[in-house]
Structure 1
Amino acid sequence: MTEYSVIGIDIAKETFDVYIDTSCTYLHLDNSPDGHQQLLSVLSALRVKLVAMEATSRYHSLLAATLTLQGFAVAVVNPRLVKNFARATGTLHKTDPNDARLIC
C-alpha cells in the first residue's frame, strides 16, 4: 500500500511553518524563493496527496502558485475556519507549528 502525505502550511510575511502528517515533521522556512525551493526539495521525496494552507493576505499567493505549477494539489483555506476548527478540537494555544498541524 502506498502512503500518501498531506501537508499543512501556516504562512506569515517572512516565514512559513510546514507540517507533514506521515512523518509528524515540522519545518520552519523563509517565505522567499529559496524557502519555496527547500520545501519543493522535501516534497519531491514524498507522495503528496494535498497541500493545504491558510489564505494569509497576499503572502500565500507565490507559494501556492509555485506548488501548483509543480503539479501539487493545493487548497487555500479560510483562516476563520481553521480558528473555528481549533476551538472545536479544544486546542487553545496558538502557535505557528500548531496551526500548520491543524491546517493539515
Structure 2
Amino acid sequence: MISSHFDDYDDLDEDRELLESIKGIGRVVGTTMLSVLRSCRFRNAGQVAAWLGVVPVEKTSGSSVRGLSRMSKTGPAAVRAKLYMAAVVASRWNPPVKAMYERLIARGKPNKVALGAVMRKLVHLCFGVLKTRKPWSENYAATA
C-alpha cells in the first residue's frame, strides 16, 4: 500500500529518492524519515533531531551532582531504532560519516556514543537533502 501511495504522488517519490541518495539510508529509513519530515513543519535540522530524541542531554542536579550525558530518547522509539541500523551501515559505507565515527572512537568515545552521533548526523543530512532538493554528494564539503 505504501509503495502504491508513493507511485500516486510524484513529489513523494522524488523526495524518497533524494533521501535514498545518502549512503546508509535505504527504502525503509527513507520512507520513515520522509513521514517524519513531512509530519511537522521543522525550521532546522536541530529541531528534527531534538524531536526524534537523538540529541545529547546533560544530567545535572544542582551544583554537586553531574552525571554523564546521554541521548534524550524523546519522540518515537521505532524511528530511532531504524536510524540506529542506518547509522551502523553508514558508519561503514558512507566515507564522511565513517571518518566522523572513527574520529570519535579515536578520541575514546564508546561505540554507542559514536553511533548516536552518526544517527544525529544522518538526521541532519536528510533534512539538508530535502531542503536543498539536491541529491547527496560525498564530495559536497570539498566543493562548498
Is TM > 0.5 for Structure 1 vs Structure 2? Answer: no
Structure with greater strand percent: 1
Larger Rg, first or second structure (1 or 2): 2
TM-score by length of 1: 0.31
Structure with greater helix percent: 2
Question: RCO greater where, 1 or 2, for CA within 8 Å and sep 6 or more?
Answer: 1
